[in-house]
Amino acid sequence: MRKKIGVLFRKTQKTAYTFERLKACKHCHTYHVLWDTHCEECGREYQPIRKLSASVTRRYVQTRFLLMVLFVCLAILCAKSLSQILIAGGVGILLFALFYWMQKKYGSYERDAQFLPFLSQEQDAIKKSLVHHLEEIGADVKAERYKEAYEKIREIGHFIHSDTIKIRKIMFLNHFILRKDMELELETVTPSTYDKDFVEYLREVIKVQPSLVKKSVLDYARRYKAYILLQENGEQLMGQIAGAALRMRPYIDQYQDLIIEFIDFIPRDRFLRLAKLVHTHRHEGWELLYAATKRRVDAQFAFDPDFAGIS
């Protein structure tokens, strides 16, 4: 059996958008998604990608301004009289004022409009940097630095949503002792196919943070129920998953079949919540669920004072 270790994970940065996790070195033209603040190649400080994009947009604006200045200068040089010089100068001043006003009013919109094309243009450089991070993770695994490997792949997972990344995350997480105070993930590591390591991880997570069990995990349990039941204490695990579904009423409505099938394996505290709910809402489409709940109450908790009056 694998020996598990106690760890304290590095706090993850909360961002409104995934791209905000990207940092760039302007000098080396490389990107970074981890926690380092300075480029490992040249030592310069990383810049937020939005700032780098804004500087590119600013160069476009400066180029347009220089072209306009050149146009006005050519107009003045081509003038054949004083009045033509004055007209060219006046038109130039008007153009400069108009250009300044437009940049003041619409410059932010232009920066936003240029950002997506900039990201598309930089895709290859970003992918290259992510591959470099994956190579670092490989080195960490060889050195058995599983905590560092997980923290790095957790950041990469914001950009790559493949089963390969999810399963590697699970492999690392199964090396750790899980606690209630840890920043754990479940939905973001739920693979699209059955994976024994994920079921092992799910078993541990549901003990310490059952609130992480949401729709995608419940769908996974329903889809791969037959495989889960083949595992040691598979029925108990399905009962814990069914018990976690009792946290929200919409889940009870949607997963009644799962709850009824494994009602005998739902932990006592969760089953008590279920008994109280179905007693109150028995005529709201929960007739079958009520009947199954009453059967277990009568069989196992008939003399339990906590269940008095709700059978």
Contacts 24+ apart (CB under 8 A), 127-132: 128/30, 129/30, 129/31, 129/32, 129/33, 130/31, 130/33, 130/156, 130/159, 130/160, 132/30
pLDDT tens across 26-55, in order?
788 888 888 888 888 787 888 877 777 666
Longest Cα–Cα distance of the chain, Å, equals 110
pLDDT tens across 100-159, in order?
776 676 656 556 666 777 777 888 888 888 999 999 999 999 999 999 999 999 999 988
**Confidence at residue 262, expressed as pLDDT on a 0 to 100 scale:** 95
**Confidence at residue 73, expressed as pLDDT on a 0 to 100 scale:** 76
Average pLDDT over residues 171-197: 93
297-309 as b/e, with b when 16 or more CB fall inside 10 Å?
beeebeeeeebee
Residue 190 in this model has a pLDDT that exceeds 80: yes
Residue 252 in this model has a pLDDT that exceeds 70: yes
Residue, of 191 and 122, whose pLDDT is higher: 191
Cβ pair 244, 222 in contact under 8 A: no
Lowest mean pLDDT among 82-86, 222-226, 257-261: 82-86
